């Protein structure tokens, strides 16, 4: 794996989009999507003396006009009806609302609009030159479609943000998604657009929702060659994940030459995540933002908007993984050593599991994976197939 550059801006002016209002995006008490994880991350950063009030900007509500950039009017109206209990069960199912994954809840339109508005707040902060980077951990809802909710996602803030960037700033956007689930909603929204490049590194759909994200999903029409997927095998560990991530990200960004990078940072590739089958540790979640930070400076004059995403071990995994994004974004280096005692003492009594005491994970935290060589080889082949278009194009010196 290539060595990360360490000599870029030591301190980058960055924005942290936050309000405790984001916890209103809550389907029900026993639903795995729990925005309490953002509050846990926020408090971990505060107790680590890594987040100042001057860095924090509140999200705004996205307007209906902005939502229309990625969703049609009938769907938005259905969400608004569901918000006030006036959408029938049959009508809801037509739009993916009221399912086990995406139940109806009071004021869901407003709650979802705030998450989208938070991402647009981050976009404007970066593109207007107020900051180099911005982080909205309430965003990253990559499964939402033009007229349908899916996979815990009502409105797709990433898709809205990319359309917003195209409309208001006329820039080329690279969207990279390291959630364990394929970033299907964002991919399909820009599948024919040569000005938007999507790269998703995810657990293979053979075992996991949404079942898409194959290497042969490369785009259509003018967008052919601007959609990249690297489906990795179940039980993939740090070394293989990081090799795939480093190689794919570097080659795609060099090929596409973006003006701005949006990263979706689901934390569900961790071995503790209850909904997926990957076996990475905090080592991977230290690397992910470091490479994004490096490449944003190398190719985009630092323009980088980072979003949250999946992540369902909200106590042991997500706060540490997401806090690392902010630490790298604002100082260029990750956290090391012990977690702050004040944070541990406050949340250990509320956590259903024992909280970790260090930023890194201990060695030997899971049993050795017997198929490791086979898994690594399969991932290398998936990577080779995913990048075949780029490599053939460069080797031939011609357009394909």
Catalytic residues: 143
Look at residues 23, 3, 44 and name the one whose alpha carbon lies nearest to residue 347: 44
| Three-class SS state of 35 | coil
| Three-class SS state of 91 | helix
Beta carbons within 8 Å of 88's beta carbon, 6+ residues apart: none
CA 37 to CA 41: how far, in whole Å?
Answer: 6
| Three-class SS state of 20 | helix
If phi over 0 gives left and psi between -120 and 50 gives alpha, with beta otherwise, what is residue 221?
Answer: left
Beta carbons within 8 Å of 18's beta carbon, 6+ residues apart: 38, 42, 56, 57, 58, 59, 137, 138
Q: DSSP secondary structure string, 45-85?
A: HHHTT---GGGEE---PPPHHHHTTTS-HHHHHHHHHHHTT
Beta carbons within 8 Å of 170's beta carbon, 6+ residues apart: none
Q: Are 30 and 342 in contact (CB under 8 A)?
A: no
Beta carbons within 8 Å of 395's beta carbon, 6+ residues apart: none
CA 390 to CA 94: how far, in whole Å?
Answer: 39
Q: Are 280 and 237 in contact (CB under 8 A)?
A: yes
Buried b or exposed e, range 293-303, using 16+ CB within 10 angstroms: bbbbbebbebb
How many angstroms from the chain centroid is the CA of residue 274?
18
Q: DSSP secondary structure string, 210-242?
A: T----TT----GGGTT-EEEEEEPTT-BHHHHH
Q: Are 241 and 250 in contact (CB under 8 A)?
A: no
Token code pair at residue 391: 């490599």
């Amino acid at each position: 794996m290539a060595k990360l550059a360490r000599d870029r801006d030591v301190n980058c002016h960055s924005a942290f989009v936050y309000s405790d209002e984001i916890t209103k995006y809550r389907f029900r008490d026993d639903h795995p999507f729990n925005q309490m994880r953002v509050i846990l991350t926020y408090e971990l950063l505060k107790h680590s003396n890594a987040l100042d009030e001057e860095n924090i900007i509140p999200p705004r509500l996205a307007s209906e006009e902005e939502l229309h950039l990625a969703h049609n009017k009938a769907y938005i109206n259905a969400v608004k009806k569901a918000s006030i209990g006036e959408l029938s069960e049959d009508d809801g199912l037509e739009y993916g609302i009221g399912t086990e994954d995406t139940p109806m809840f009071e004021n869901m339109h407003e709650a979802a609009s705030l998450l989208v508005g938070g991402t647009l707040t981050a976009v404007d902060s970066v593109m207007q030159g107020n900051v180099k980077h911005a982080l909205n951990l309430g965003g990253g809802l990559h499964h939402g479609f033009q007229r349908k909710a899916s996979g815990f996602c009502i409105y797709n803030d990433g898709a809205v943000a990319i359309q917003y960037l195209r409309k208001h700033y006329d820039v080329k956007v690279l969207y990279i998604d390291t959630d364990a689930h394929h970033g299907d909603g964002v991919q399909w929204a820009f599948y024919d657009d040569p000005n938007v490049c999507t790269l998703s590194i995810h657990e293979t759909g053979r075992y996991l929702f949404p079942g898409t994200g194959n290497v042969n999903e490369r785009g259509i029409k003018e967008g052919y060659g601007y959609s990249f997927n690297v489906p990795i095998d179940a039980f993939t560990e740090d070394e293989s994940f990081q090799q795939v991530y480093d190689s794919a990200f570097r080659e795609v960004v060099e090929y596409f030459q973006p003006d701005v990078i949006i990263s979706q940072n689901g934390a569900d590739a961790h071995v503790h995540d209850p909904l997926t089958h990957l076996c990475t540790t905090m080592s991977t979640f230290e690397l992910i933002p470091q490479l994004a930070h490096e490449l944003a400076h190398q190719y985009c004059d630092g323009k980088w908007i980072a979003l949250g995403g999946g992540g369902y071990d909200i106590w042991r995994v997500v706060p540490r993984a997401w806090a690392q994004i902010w630490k790298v974004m604002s100082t260029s280096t990750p956290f090391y050593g012990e977690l702050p005692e004040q944070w541990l003492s406050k949340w250990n009594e509320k956590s259903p599991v024992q909280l970790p005491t260090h930023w890194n994970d201990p060695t030997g935290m899971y049993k050795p994976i017997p198929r490791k060589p086979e898994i690594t080889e399969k991932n290398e082949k998936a990577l080779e197939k995913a990048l075949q278009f780029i490599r053939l194009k460069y080797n031939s010196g011609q357009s394909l």
